[in-house]
């Protein structure tokens, strides 16, 4: 007689219809939970849609948690235990099992084989449908209040009750204010992935010129990063710049984004470059400097180096002086540039800052301050460099929430 009596399902409110929110909605046990997603926008998964140029950089094929955490300027210590439970290999398996095969590219960035973020979106919408998830779009959350039994979610479309809240809003000021009003401390958010605004004769007219391996340093901060580099119409971009901006986000904000960098466009040290130059000079003494590009850089950039070094293009390389050689190599290997500001990616805007990590239990992603309240994604003071790492943190944190709730 008692066997047919079922406990009523607990109401789960997921605040935010992005990557973390949908991963939670897809993995919760729908036989135990009634799941509702609140999304203020007219469409869900917007950041997933536009990330990676519309291809969606789902994760990064770095399978050692100790190595993986090195890509997170903030949150690396806390994420070690999280990644030991769910890491990129698990992410790849999860999508594979749902008929979304992923492809690892040469730099370990991992995308759907379809090369379209729509594959990821369709997968999440399908999983949400299977889990009978109620998706409320254009339903902005205004505030959350505690009740004797759980929470009240005050929205633009009325008040909803919830036994459990999963807070996955991202890092907008409004969403941080809501959770701050519930008692959490907020580390003020600032941009953490941005490009450098530079006006310099060397970069002028060379928009689109790229370099495979470079090294950039901020001497004042003793900070160095290496990687590919791109000249843009506003200055410098590319992985080397973005990594540097991410690791030094707080310091650069304090400097009001006014600082000097030193760029090694060749990615080799000065002495090695000098040796290459001398050997080339011996081998091709009669060549003009214009025809003497001996490094892995574009002809346009080589000519620009000669131009700013004020050296005659038509001069034979045999006749170049030691002082002229030094000038060329210093402009290639030790070029000082003044950064006068930053530019952020509107579509892939990443901040550092958010909920103070000391207030989170990283075994479960539960709030230490609020009962039955879980937090994941960019609303936390966790961020990563580019390459699929921010999404991986979302998947792993959300997995822990679901594991905790499904095993309760």
Angle between helices 299-308 and 322-333 (to 10 degrees): 120
CA angle 169, 172, 176 (to 5 degrees): 75
Q: What are residue 225's DSSP bridge partners?
A: 216
Last residue of a domain, one of 292, 322, 344: 344
Work out the percent of the chain whose per-residue pLDDT is above 70: 97
Give tens-digit pLDDT for 131-183.
Answer: 999 999 999 999 999 999 999 999 999 999 999 999 999 999 999 999 999 99
Give me the CATH number covering residue 308. Answer: 2.40.30.10
> Distance between CA 328 and CA 339 in Å, rounded?
22
Structural domains in the chain (count)? 2
Residue 382: what are its φ and ψ, rounded to 5°? -135, 135
Give tens-digit pLDDT for 258-300.
Answer: 999 999 999 999 999 999 999 999 999 999 999 999 999 999 9
Q: Confidence band (pLDDT; 50, 70, 90) for 351?
A: confident
Last residue of a domain, one of 316, 344, 372: 344
Last residue of a domain, one of 344, 364, 396: 344
Residue span of the structural domain in which 396 resides: 10-190+349-407
Q: Is residue 4 part of a domain?
A: no
Residues 247 and 386 in one domain: no
Is 400:86 a contact under the CB 8 Å cutoff?
Answer: yes
Q: Is residue 37 part of a domain?
A: yes
Q: Is residue 137 part of a domain?
A: yes
Residues 237 and 331 in one domain: yes
Residue 11: what are its φ and ψ, rounded to 5°? -90, 120
């Amino acid at each position: 007689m008692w066997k047919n009596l079922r406990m009523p399902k607990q109401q789960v409110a997921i605040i935010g219809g992005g990557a973390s929110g949908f991963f939670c909605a897809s993995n919760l046990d729908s036989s135990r939970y009634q799941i509702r997603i609140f999304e203020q926008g007219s469409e869900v998964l917007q950041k997933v849609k536009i990330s990676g140029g519309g291809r969606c950089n789902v994760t990064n094929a770095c399978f050692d948690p100790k190595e993986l955490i090195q890509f997170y300027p903030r949150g690396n210590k806390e994420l070690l235990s999280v990644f030991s439970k769910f890491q990129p290999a698990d992410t790849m398996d999860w999508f594979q099992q749902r008929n979304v095969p992923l492809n690892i590219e040469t730099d370990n960035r991992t995308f759907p084989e379809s090369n379209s973020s729509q594959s990821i979106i369709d997968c999440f919408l399908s999983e949400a449908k299977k889990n009978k998830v109620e998706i409320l779009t254009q339903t902005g959350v205004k505030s959350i209040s505690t009740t004797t039994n759980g929470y009240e979610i005050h929205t633009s479309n009325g008040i909803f009750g919830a036994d459990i809240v999963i807070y996955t809003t991202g890092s907008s000021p409004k969403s941080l204010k809501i959770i701050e009003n519930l008692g959490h401390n907020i580390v003020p958010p600032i941009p953490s992935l941005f490009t450098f605004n530079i006006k310099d004769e060397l970069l002028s007219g060379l928009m689109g010129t790229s370099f495979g391996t470079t090294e950039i340093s901020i001497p004042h901060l003793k900070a160095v990063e290496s990687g590919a580099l791109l000249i843009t119409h506003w200055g410098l971009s590319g992985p080397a710049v973005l990594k540097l901006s991410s690791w030094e986000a707080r310091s650069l904000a304090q400097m009001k984004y006014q600082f000097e960098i030193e760029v090694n466009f060749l990615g080799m040290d000065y002495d090695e470059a000098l040796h290459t130059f001398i050997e080339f000079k011996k081998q091709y003494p009669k060549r003009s400097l214009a025809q003497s590009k001996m490094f892995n850089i574009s002809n346009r950039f080589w000519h620009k180096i000669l131009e700013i070094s004020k050296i005659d293009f038509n001069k034979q390389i045999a006749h170049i002086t030691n002082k002229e050689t030094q000038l060329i190599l210093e402009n290639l290997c030790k070029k000082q540039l003044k950064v006068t500001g930053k530019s952020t990616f509107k579509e892939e805007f990443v901040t550092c800052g958010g909920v103070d990590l000391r207030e989170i239990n990283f075994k479960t992603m539960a709030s230490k301050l609020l009962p039955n309240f879980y937090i994941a994604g960019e609303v936390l003071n966790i961020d990563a460099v580019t390459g699929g790492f921010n999404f991986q943190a979302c998947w792993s944190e959300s997995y822990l929430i679901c594991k905790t709730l499904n095993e309760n």
